[in-house]
Amino acid sequence: MPRIMLVHAVAEAVGPIRQAFAADWPAAETHDLMDTSLSADLAADGGKLGARMVDRFKTLGRYAAAAGPDGRASDAILFTCSAFGPAIEAVRADLKIPVHKPNEAAFERALEAGSGAGSRIGVLVTFAPSLPALSAELEAMAQARGVKVTVEGAIAKGGMEALRAGKPEAHDALLVQAARALPPVDAIVIGQFSAARAAAAIAAVRSEPVLTTPGSAVTKLKKTLGA
């Protein structure tokens, strides 16, 4: 089975991606690499990705790709941190193995849900610095496909704090509240791995497809690696 390294910026992302692998690809060999200072430092810098942060990601990528004690190198890397798209792209350019961004698979599915004239996609987050980066990533993907996209973003303020305080029900309720405020869209993407747990609650109040990033990412990895 492929050896896949999962790189996290928040501890809350570990459970959702583990659950997604258990549901769709339990035989895959996965390992976790975490640096919780990444999200804290990004927030302290006002959400701006500077050269030093990009260099840190390259270092993480090289470490994650390196061979283990048995001589086996990683077959792929999946980053689960949604606010660092350009830094992850730098890692992708730096390595020869597949490097997947956390949201690209869900965004691909969301764009496919749109009409030929374009797509209107809702993006829900609980970490505010993620939204500009995710919107830019989604718009770039649409442009590369030659289609138009309108991004309807919503921030569930206080959601991440509620989850970290051990209040998952409050976290989910805040995401449902944010989802209710979205206009009609073709699909809704829950833009953070840590928020995937709220998918069923959001689907209960919206008629559009609700896509999670962990589930979509595992499906794409499985296809990429030929499993």
* pLDDT over 90 percentage in the chain: 75
- CATH code of the domain in which 209 resides: 3.40.50.1860
Question: Quick one: 89 and 154 in the same domain?
Answer: no
pLDDT, one tens digit per residue, over 75-118 is: 999 999 888 888 999 999 999 999 999 999 999 999 998 766 67
* Residue 127 and residue 208 in one domain: yes
- Do 10 and 98 belong to one domain? yes
Number of domains in the chain: 2
**Residue 222 CB burial class (10 angstroms; 0-12, 13-18, ≥19):** middle
Contacts of 115 (CB under 8 A, 6+ apart): 186
Q: What's the pTM?
A: 0.86
Residue 70 has pLDDT above 80, yes or no: no
Interval 116-123 mean pLDDT: 84
Quick one: pLDDT band at residue 180, thresholds 50, 70, 90?
very high
Mean pLDDT confidence for 60-75: 87
One domain, residues 108 and 202: yes
**Host domain of residue 173:** 104-213
Q: Is there a single domain that holds both residue 65 and residue 118?
A: no
Higher pLDDT, 28 or 82: 28
In terms of pLDDT, which residue wins out, 45 or 213? Answer: 213
Rounded average pLDDT over 37-51: 87
| Cα–Cα distances in angstroms (integers) from residue 35 to residues 20, 47, 63, 162, in the given order | 21, 17, 12, 21
Least confident of 24-33, 109-118, 145-154: 109-118
Same structural domain, 14 and 70: yes
Same domain, 31 and 121: no
Give bridge partners of residue 32 from the DSSP assignment.
6
